[in-house]
Structure 1
Amino acid sequence: MTTNASAPTQVTERRTVDVPGRSPILSALQEALPLPVHDGGNGNGARRVLSPKRPAVETAGLADAFPYYAGFSFDWATSCISNTQLKGVLTVLDPWNGSGTTTLAANTLGHSVVGLDRNPVASVVAQLRCKVPMNVEPIRFSSLRIRASARTQNDPLNYWFDDITTARIRAWTSHLEHASPSNRTMGLVAAFRAVRSLTKHFEGSNPTWVKRASENEERLCFTHSEIDEAFFSEQVFLASRLSSVPRTSASVSLLTADSAALPLATNSIDIIVTSPPYLTRIDYAVAYARELAVLGIDVFSEKTLRKALMGTTLTRQASMTPSLLGPMAEALLSDISQHASKASSSYYMKQAKQYLNDLNSGLRESARVSKPGAEMHLVVQDSYYKDVLVPLAEICIEEAKRYGWELQEHEMFPVKRLLTTLNTSARAYKKGDVSESVITFTRRKHD
């Protein structure tokens, strides 16, 4: 995928190629890029490339342990790392690590890896995929006793469960604090899965939003045995999946941290494989409100985490300070500000500016920690604000170049379904086609 840094930049649009059934790790290693030549039906002999798009059902790399919204496929991440031009044991970074696809892919290839994410739910899932051993045994909590007077007042789980059910779930999470690190991690992900399954009817058509019970009568009630069985069966499933994925002894460092202030040494990273959140106004804290509630975090009454996450729908006062964005980002902000729709010049412009500042800071920090000659592979997707195109790929290219990244290749894959189709008011604005892009850079050796 990466070309020689001295060669002319190749920016080519190619058709999407889905490769079903390529889930085993050995398949990813043996059949990684370059793939066979395929002309996509247009006779031009274009090189067949692997799309980053996740299949509808993905099991490779434990992706089914806890399906995380968005992201890219395990096979694609493995291909990026295994086809690098760099030699030896490398240090791989994902500054927007999500559930740990990059970190697991790098580990299976024997490379050291660092994964960072601001969302603690993502960090727990990444710990399961990358650090919990294959032979961990599920534990039963059926012997737990709960005092009849156990109180759950102000517990965020009460947004969906009654006091009795919440008390039983809290008995589980409290017991996990005394378990081994591996059992605690697997138990928490089992709790994420169980709580999400039990509260499924609170989900709407938008996969990134979850409703709450509007009155006490809507809160769910389950017996202790029902909760115990749900949590234990989820552990059994996770244990069976863990046994199918080999790991190496290479170093894995997982941190809950901000991409705008990476706690890493300058010139310490060889490869970056990542996908920053898109400018689509997805509130990831609300999307994972139930899992954060399992961790004791209430994103509805305490909004610190919601405000901190990149792409949040909430605005921070500090983000309104003057920025040093490039011309394309500034042009987008101008287009949004001048749009005739309500609040475009106020709230929506501020939210977009905050996002672009976060993106800029993340790309700047990624450049700082990368060695001269390092590679960076970004997956981003264009979108629309009303009828204004958000050319996120081109903005990323422009911003990255300002920090010493040199564009090597820009591959585009058409997007067939946008999240905005779920928003009735958004359908009133005319939109064109958008693409998901894979952008490959190398770090300049001399600035």
Structure 2
Amino acid sequence: MGQFPAGSRMNQESLWHFDGDSGTQIRKLTPKRPQSDKAGLADIFPYYAGFSFEWAKGQLRLEGFDENAVVLDPWNGSGTTTLAARVNDLKSVGVDLNPIANIVAYLRLQDADHMEPCAAPTARSARASQHEPLLAWFSSRTAGRFRQWSRSLSKQPHSTSSLGYVALFRVTRSLTKGFEGSNPTWVRRASNSEDVVDVASRDLDDLIVQEQRHVKDRVSEESHPGCPASIIRASSACLPMAEESVDFILSSPPYLTRIDYAVAYSRELAILGVDISKDRSLRSSLMGTTLIRRRRDVIRQEGYGPKASQLVENISKHDSKASSGYYLKQAKQYLDDLTLSFDELTRVSKRHALMTLVVQDSYYKEVPIRLAEICVEEAERRGWSFIDWDQAEVTRLLTQVNTAARAYPKGKVAETVVTLRRKRS
């Protein structure tokens, strides 16, 4: 499974706790999210990767923070951390660059009583413009009707618009299920006019109204009053927060697995009017992107620690095609984003703040990427002290559905929960 910092070890007893009421040992919750997870509204719009709501709640309770503590998730995704903080009556800040993630995260924090489903727009005859991004999957009349809904929602209060947009996301994903492949993060586009989805405007309206009701009912079932949470669209490498303002960081950084989150959510981004096939700005800015940024957009780190540097060297020396070119650039771009993010996490954290990260290792060809070790080393270089780690084997990987990747022998892959504390000086 790989090595961890000198002197550290995985304590199997740490995976269990003693229940005083029953007098028995009970296995701790793991961060792995169940495939059919509904806790914390995880089912209203499943977001790739992340950790379970029940585990996040437990982590926050375990630390016993006071009422003034601030929790940060710099890769907040669909908002599991911010919702778990609210349930624990803690202030929180969730940061993510992906607007789809932020809409879902905001919705999960809402009170259903303040949420009013949006009625269908009155006109139904609009056709999509030739630049409409939804034409990649839908007919002109269906894409045009979606656009009317989106424009109508943009004029509504946030609580109503978030409900409506999530309903649009759900309907879009349902209607375009046939464009998904075995890789859950890659979505193809229609190859010809006969391949597009065509739905009458009235039928589409009925689907959207029905989804709004369903989502509101789910929010009603799991209403979580508590401390306010801020959902911010920003980069983890440039946090819009004051120095030493955070008590606890709970997050899972994007993995170095070449998952392109903009492509994974290209249909939902199209609902917001973003065409990732023509506008690279969002796609190229997301951490882990498969695009290589233009030179003028690049911010380089001064250097990495030994473990990240060794990974770069291993990739550059690999004898496979493009290892010393594209794949090396992509790995260095990811490591730049990761280390710049650790700079920012250190800046906004209070002295003696805690940080718990869920990190998954991976492989480049047969070269192991020990991302958890890299994260620990980069944090320690910035004044954090390693405290503890729990590790479990990952049994389902994207490499299992990638036939080309199977050609390279690989060992076991671990998901690691790492806890660190920022030093007082």
- Fold equivalence (TM over 0.5): yes
The residue that corresponds to 1:11 in the other structure is: 9
Matched letter for residue 269 of structure 1: V
- Rounded Cα–Cα distance in structure 2 between residues aligned with 1:171 and 1:437: 45
Change (3 A) 1:132 1:256: farther
2:238 corresponds to 1:261: yes
- Unmatched 5+ residue regions in structure 2? 1-5
Does the 8 Å contact 1:11/1:411 carry over to 2? no
The residue that corresponds to 1:304 in the other structure is: 281
Q: Displacement of 1:304 after TM fit?
A: 0.9
1:343 to 304, 314, 322: 322
The residue that corresponds to 2:178 in the other structure is: 201
Matched letter for residue 123 of structure 1: N
- Rounded Cα–Cα distance in structure 1 between residues aligned with 2:383 and 2:306: 17
Mapping for residues 307-318 of structure 1, pairs under 5 Å: 307-316=284-293, 317=295, 318=297
Change (3 A) 1:35 1:175: farther
Q: Displacement of 1:322 after TM fit?
A: 5.6
Does the 8 Å contact 2:18/2:25 carry over to 1? no
**Which digits, 9 at most, give the CA deviation of each residue in 1:261-311, with x for residues without a partner?**
100000000111000000000010000000000000001111111110000
The residue that corresponds to 1:243 in the other structure is: 220
Give the % identical residues. Answer: 48
The residue that corresponds to 1:145 in the other structure is: 123
Aligned residue pair count:
415
Q: SS at the partner of 2:368?
A: strand
The residue that corresponds to 2:341 in the other structure is: 362
Matched letter for residue 190 of structure 1: A
- Rounded Cα–Cα distance in structure 2 between residues aligned with 1:220 and 1:286: 19
Mapping for residues 147-162 of structure 1, pairs under 5 Å: 147=125, 150-162=127-139
Does the 8 Å contact 1:190/1:231 carry over to 2? yes
2:375 corresponds to 1:377: no
- Rounded Cα–Cα distance in structure 2 between residues aligned with 1:15 and 1:128: 38
Q: SS at the partner of 1:438?
A: strand
The residue that corresponds to 1:180 in the other structure is: 157
Give the TM-score of the pair, scaled to structure 1.
Answer: 0.89
Does the 8 Å contact 2:172/2:267 carry over to 1? yes
Q: Displacement of 1:218 after TM fit?
A: 1.1
Does the 8 Å contact 2:90/2:226 carry over to 1? no
- Rounded Cα–Cα distance in structure 2 between residues aligned with 1:325 and 1:46: 42
Q: Displacement of 1:89 after TM fit?
A: 3.0
2:144 to 167, 170, 189: 167
Change (3 A) 1:356 1:35: farther
Change (3 A) 1:35 1:255: farther
Give the TM-score of the pair, scaled to structure 2.
Answer: 0.93
- Rounded Cα–Cα distance in structure 1 between residues aligned with 2:215 and 2:86: 19
2:255 to 271, 278, 283: 278
2:312 to 333, 336, 341: 333
2:29 corresponds to 1:50: yes
Q: Displacement of 1:421 after TM fit?
A: 1.1
The residue that corresponds to 2:3 in the other structure is: none
Matched letter for residue 357 of structure 1: D
- Rounded Cα–Cα distance in structure 1 between residues aligned with 2:198 and 2:282: 28
- Rounded Cα–Cα distance in structure 2 between residues aligned with 1:63 and 1:412: 24
The residue that corresponds to 1:219 in the other structure is: 196
**Which digits, 9 at most, give the CA deviation of each residue in 1:346-391, with x for residues without a partner?**
1101100110111111112111101111111100001000000000
- Rounded Cα–Cα distance in structure 1 between residues aligned with 2:36 and 2:407: 32
Q: Displacement of 1:132 after TM fit?
A: 4.7
Mapping for residues 354-433 of structure 1, pairs under 5 Å: 354-433=333-412
Q: Displacement of 1:170 after TM fit?
A: 1.1
- Rounded Cα–Cα distance in structure 2 between residues aligned with 1:336 and 1:319: 20
Q: Displacement of 1:445 after TM fit?
A: 0.8
Does the 8 Å contact 2:19/2:25 carry over to 1? no
The residue that corresponds to 1:96 in the other structure is: 75
Q: SS at the partner of 2:288?
A: coil
Q: Displacement of 1:250 after TM fit?
A: 1.3
Q: Which moved more, 1:159-168 or 1:48-57?
A: 48-57
- Unmatched 5+ residue regions in structure 1? 1-7, 18-32, 38-44
Q: Displacement of 1:49 after TM fit?
A: 2.6
Q: Which moved more, 1:318-327 or 1:241-250?
A: 318-327
Q: Displacement of 1:95 after TM fit?
A: 0.2
The residue that corresponds to 1:232 in the other structure is: 209
Does the 8 Å contact 1:134/1:239 carry over to 2? no
Q: Displacement of 1:130 after TM fit?
A: 1.3
Matched letter for residue 267 of structure 1: E
Change (3 A) 1:49 1:259: same
Q: Displacement of 1:216 after TM fit?
A: 1.6
Q: SS at the partner of 2:346?
A: helix
Matched letter for residue 413 of structure 2: V
Does the 8 Å contact 1:15/1:414 carry over to 2? no
